[in-house]
Structures are given as C-alpha cells and as structure tokens.
Amino acid sequence: MKKIVFTVLGIIAFTSIAVVASGNNEEMMMEEDRTVSEAVLPPMSEGGMYVKPSDEILKKNLSALEYRVTQEEGTESSFNNMYWDNHEQGIYVDIVSGEPLFSSTDKYDSRTGWPSFTRPLEPGNITTVNDRKLGYVRSEVRSLYADSHLGHVFSDGPAPTGLRYCINSASLRFIPVSQLEEEGYGEYLSLFE
C-alpha cells in the first residue's frame, strides 16, 4: 500500500513540476518574441538625470519577466535571453530609466549564457550591494538612478579588469551604433570609430 501511495505522490509531484516548467517556458518564449522597439524608454528629467517611472507605469510598460528581474531581483534563464549572444555594436541601457550601463566593446563570451562585460560604460551609473540570498555573499549590480536589479559582478573575468559583470538581458535595452544619435546617446559614438 505504501508503494502505491508513494508512486501516486511521485506522479502528482512530477506532473506539477512539468506544468510549472511549461508555464515558465511559455513566458520565456514570449520574451524571445519581444523586439527592442517595444521597450519603452522613459524620458530624462529636466536636470538631465535619469528617472524611475512609477510602479504603475513599470507594470504597464515592462513584460512580466522584465518587471520580475528589475523590480523583484529575479534571474532569467541562461542561454534563453535576448542579448547573451548579441554581437552587434552599440550600448546597453537600463530598460527602466535609460541610464547608459555597458558597451559592446566590453562584452565577451563568458560561456554562462548571460551577457557579460568586463566593465561598466559609466561606472557612476552602477552601484553594488551585498547579496546574501544564496547563503553566501555575492555583489549584486544595480543601476544608480532607477535602482534596477541588473545581475552580479564576479572577480573571475578576463584582463584588463579581472571582472565579470553577469547581467540579465531583461534589465537591458540595446541601442545599436546606428541609432545612438537619434536615441540621445550620440556622445558614445566615438567608442565605435
């Protein structure tokens, strides 16, 4: 009798896991269909500083995954995100505020399945905090103005910095070189000359 009960419980548990996993997979597939042009970039304030929209606006403009990653410190799936394998030249900005964060000139293949960078484009737009959620201390990377969760930084990166900024694609919006001027980031064109 005990064998039957454990077998039935095992089948129920397996089925529940499969249903949950298929739901997450569906969410990820929807994320892959999202295009960069659909991301909503908030305007800068009059003082030239980047601003964080209200939670109501964020929930309306961000996908469920983008909101979970940036506002609830979530992590997207590796190798199944928008920018892990992007080789186009341009910059990456905070999807919430538009703060310039990283450049393709500092991006490299860390073989982790997430976009990885050796350094921030604008160090003043990045802040780190201790993250103890996994039972040990990691350095969480956040944007300065919007306070968006971006990912983590590790000391196992390549030269010249030895750092690996492991960033969630869902926290970023990519702006190709051809659109830098038009999007208000013309000051970064010299990086690609």
Q: pLDDT tens across 41-69, in order?
A: 444 544 567 899 999 999 999 999 999 99
* Residues marked as catalytic: 166
Which structure tokens are listed for 164? 């690996």
Strands, DSSP E only, in the chain?
A: 90-94, 100-103, 107-108, 116-117, 126-131, 138-143, 149-154, 164-167, 172-176
Lowest mean pLDDT among 23-32, 51-60, 136-145, 156-165: 23-32
Model pLDDT, residue 44: 52
Rounded Cα–Cα distance for residues 60 and 67 (Å):
10
Enumerate the domain spans of the chain.
Answer: 1-33, 37-192
Question: For residue 96, is pLDDT > 50?
Answer: yes
Task: Please name the CATH architecture into which domain 37-192 falls.
Answer: Beta Complex (2.170)
Burial class of 44 by CB neighbour count within 10 A (0 to 12, 13 to 18, 19+):
middle
Q: How many CB atoms lie within 10 A of CB 97?
A: 24
Taking the CB of residue 57, how many other CB atoms lie within 10 A of it?
13
Separation between Cα atoms, residue 149 and residue 70, nearest integer Å: 5
The structure's pTM equals 0.77
46, 52, 54, 58 alpha-carbon torsion, rounded to 10°? 130
Residue 50 CA to residue 185 CA, distance in Å, equals: 13
Average pLDDT taken over every residue of the chain = 82
Residues contacting residue 44 through CB under 8 Å, at least 6 positions apart: 50, 51, 98, 184
Strand order in 138-143's β-sheet?
107-108, 116-117, 164-167, 149-154, 138-143, 126-131
Q: How much is the average pLDDT of 5-27? A: 37
